[in-house]
Structure 1
Amino acid sequence: MTTPPTLLVTGANGQLGRLVVEHLLDTVKVEPSRIIATTRNPAKLADFAARGVTVRAADFAKPETLAEAFKGADRLLLISTTSVGTRLVEHQAAIDAAVAAGVQHVLYTSIPNPVAPELLIVHDHAKTEDALAASQLPGWTVLRNNWYFENLNHTIPQLLQSGQWFNASGDGRIAYIARSDLARAAATALANGDNGKSALTLGGATAYTVPELAALIGSTLGGEIAAIPVTVPHLEQGMIGAGLPAPVAAVLSSAEIHIANGRLGDVSGDYRALTGAEPQSLESWLVANKAALAKAA
């Protein structure tokens, strides 16, 4: 009789990581004893430990500790870290530690079209995908996650207040998807036992241009939002003028080019094929969060 694989989630105290562990327990129905959740501060995962999940300390900035933290795991979800500038080193260390610990399959949270040169943060994802392909891992899966609905939590209140959406995304589309749906996809892929080498594009069932988004948000939440096209330099300077640090404004501006070039508009059937479910629609997410978004505005 084959022993069910032990599943490990890194960054399990993060917003995505927590949802992945919850989906493993409550949606996929994995036995808690088969789950390892790692984080820099295990005390913050006491609720999962109380449910029978093994909780371990793992700090990607201390790569010498990772092989021990990953010990006994058969399948591992490597959630990309937020350490822009150093995270490629962290991801490589995690992949090396997984190999050293005998992990059979690593899943990684990437982005759609990671080879696109215009997005300033794309390099880390592309190189991590390359590192997986070059590793001695028997199997790996790349989860190319589109933009979260939740990315709009800070944007929408400002749009409702000003009635204006300055953008440089042209006719580019974004297949937004709920963070919880991406967590469900990750949990399902982690638990399904596949040992191949593949990449999945995970996004919503509909891709929107900024004018379409503006119209949908306005009609759903009550208000009128005008999508105003501007050049990338004007957008970047406007963000800096509004108080954003120049490096952050540069990344956000590069994302506009990424969108304009069609990098986030792919609508695939990968989410449905993986989970057997339809992703939540943006309309239903807006309705569910209407009160909070309107209050924030």
Structure 2
Amino acid sequence: MTKLLVTGAAGQLGRAVLNHLLETSKVSPGDIVAASRDTSKLADLAAKGVETRKADFTDEAGLAAAFAGIDRVLIISTDDLATPGNRLKQHKTAVAAATKAGVKHILYTSMPNPDKSLVSFAPDHLGTEEAIKATGIAYTILRNAWYDDNYLMSMPHNLETGTWYTAYGAGKVSNISRDDCARAAAAALANPPAGSTTLTLTGSESLNAEEIAALVSKASGKQLNVVHVTDEQLAGGLTSAGLPDFLVKMLVSADANIRAGNFDLVTSDFEKLTGSKPQPLSGYLANNKDALLSAH
């Protein structure tokens, strides 16, 4: 009997991983542990027979107790982005706890090319990858490409105005859906690649801003024009829209990273893990037409 634990189980990615472990990978609920700061949010999983444990990334002793008796742990990166350095500290605490608890295999959700990425939070991922490698424990690092889901945050507003202000330049990006990343993570957790490996999960095509806008237009039935701006102009627009400073920095740095070509990569790693092809962005947008048309 192999015990699998998923951290961040109440979050969007964590929930989707648990769903795929149960439904897609057909892992027995008794072999799964769902861990979260707030286990009351996991009552529906507990009702299915999944064990729930409290896991707080600021409490190493508590985490080591949560990881006790676990064979493989999936450490899902936390969403603590407002204070620089916080997230890396939390991840290192989780890695130390996994080591202390005698976990045999660590899986971690990272990002493409964190060593050369311009994205503001890339150092968190690079530092965590290095901490995991330093343990000597077998690992699977899953570098998730930029989510399709991120477009649902900005595109509804863009469609309302008919304009997408972007600093992508001529850069391309191969998006993948959060659910596909969850499916791949569940497959890797249930049946990890031998030894230690780093995989990059991407869609099957890399697209520029005009190509993405055309797909958004087609899915929504509304015209979307691309207007290329500088990083400074983009930052100004996001700031005047009322976004907090750390989020402005993150979004501008992501556009800069696309412009630099660092998100322009297509791999077959998703297919290697799952045996199927990732959902294309066109399909994702078509399935989420209602969300695209519901600007708040």
If the length of structure 1 is used for normalisation, what is the TM-score?
0.95
Q: Aligned with 1:107: secondary structure?
A: strand
1:136, CA displacement in angstroms?
Answer: 3.2
How many Å separate the matches in 2 of 1:193 and 1:178? 21
Q: Deviations over 1:41-73 (max 9, x none)?
A: 111111111111110001111222111100010
2:151 aligned with 1:152: yes
Q: Which residue pairs with 1:38 in the alignment?
A: 35
Q: Tell whether the 8 Å contact from 1:116 to 1:258 is kept in structure 2 after alignment.
A: no
1:223, CA displacement in angstroms?
Answer: 1.6
> What is the one-letter code of the residue matched to 2:52?
V
Corresponding residue to 1:21 among 15, 18, 38: 18
1:195, CA displacement in angstroms?
Answer: 4.3
Q: Tell whether the 8 Å contact from 2:60 to 2:96 is kept in structure 1 after alignment.
A: no
Q: Which residue pairs with 1:76 in the alignment?
A: 73
Q: Tell whether the 8 Å contact from 1:99 to 1:136 is kept in structure 2 after alignment.
A: no
Q: Tell whether the 8 Å contact from 2:64 to 2:101 is kept in structure 1 after alignment.
A: yes
Q: Tell whether the 8 Å contact from 2:6 to 2:75 is kept in structure 1 after alignment.
A: yes
1:127, CA displacement in angstroms?
Answer: 0.5
Q: Aligned with 1:90: secondary structure?
A: helix
How many Å separate the matches in 2 of 1:254 and 1:286? 24
Listed as ranges, the gaps of 5+ residues in structure 2 are none
RMSD: 1.3
Q: Which residue pairs with 2:135 in the alignment?
A: 135
Q: Which residue pairs with 1:95 in the alignment?
A: 95
How many Å separate the matches in 1 of 2:257 and 2:90? 25
Q: Deviations over 1:232-284 (max 9, x none)?
A: 11111121122122332122111111111111121100001110011111111
How many Å separate the matches in 2 of 1:295 and 1:32? 36
Corresponding residue to 2:49 among 46, 52, 71: 52
Q: Aligned with 1:153: secondary structure?
A: helix
> What is the one-letter code of the residue matched to 2:40?
A
Q: Which residue pairs with 1:291 in the alignment?
A: 290
1:117, CA displacement in angstroms?
Answer: 4.8
How many Å separate the matches in 1 of 2:66 and 2:45? 17
Q: Deviations over 1:15-39 (max 9, x none)?
A: 0000101100111000111101100
Sort the Cα spacing of 1:125 and 1:193 in 2 relative to 1 into closer, same or farther, 3 A: closer
> What is the one-letter code of the residue matched to 2:112?
P
Q: Deviations over 1:195-227 (max 9, x none)?
A: 411110101111111111111111221121111
1:296, CA displacement in angstroms?
Answer: 3.5
How many residues of Structure 1 are paired with residues of Structure 2 in the alignment?
Answer: 293
How many Å separate the matches in 2 of 1:145 and 1:213? 19
> What is the one-letter code of the residue matched to 1:214?
A
Q: Which residue pairs with 2:122 in the alignment?
A: 122
Q: Which residue pairs with 1:254 in the alignment?
A: 253
Q: Tell whether the 8 Å contact from 2:141 to 2:198 is kept in structure 1 after alignment.
A: yes
Runs (4+) off by over 4 Å? none
> What is the one-letter code of the residue matched to 1:99?
T
Q: Aligned with 2:112: secondary structure?
A: coil
2:275 aligned with 1:279: no
How many Å separate the matches in 1 of 2:69 and 2:194? 17
> 221-230 or 182-191: which moved more?
221-230
Q: Which residue pairs with 1:190 in the alignment?
A: 189
1:96, CA displacement in angstroms?
Answer: 0.8
Q: Which residue pairs with 1:170 in the alignment?
A: 169
If the length of structure 2 is used for normalisation, what is the TM-score?
0.96
> What is the one-letter code of the residue matched to 1:159?
N
How many Å separate the matches in 1 of 2:115 and 2:192? 28
Listed as ranges, the gaps of 5+ residues in structure 1 are none
Q: Aligned with 1:59: secondary structure?
A: coil
Q: Tell whether the 8 Å contact from 1:105 to 1:195 is kept in structure 2 after alignment.
A: no
How many Å separate the matches in 2 of 1:38 and 1:195? 25
How many Å separate the matches in 2 of 1:238 and 1:194? 44
How many Å separate the matches in 2 of 1:268 and 1:128? 22
> 192-201 or 83-92: which moved more?
192-201
Q: Aligned with 2:44: secondary structure?
A: helix
